[in-house]
Amino acid sequence: MKFQCTKGMATSDNISVVVMESDVVELVSTDEGEVVVNGIAGWCKGFELTFTPREFTTHFRTVGITYTI
């Protein structure tokens, strides 16, 4: 499943950029208290990143999924 960044994020010490708005990531795994993704487009391309569930839901949205109700 792919997700697009809706709000950029820096490291907690504000030294490095983690993701930029519109970057695309692919889900690798979810486990207790962490979401692991692989950057596939944009600033984070080629990097494996780990987010807390709250960070992930605040900074990303799903892409490529359409629903019929």
* Residue 69 domain-assigned (yes or no): no
Q: For residue 4, give the nearest of 46, 66, 43, 61 by alpha carbon.
A: 61
What tens digit of pLDDT does each residue of 16-32 get? 999 999 999 999 999 98
Instruction: Provide the whole-model pTM.
Output: 0.87
Does 51 score more than 80 pLDDT? yes
Helix (H) or strand (E) run with residue 53 in it: helix 53-59
* Residue 54 domain-assigned (yes or no): yes
pLDDT at residue 64 in the model: 82
* Residue 37 domain-assigned (yes or no): yes
* Residue 31 domain-assigned (yes or no): yes
Number of domains in the chain: 1
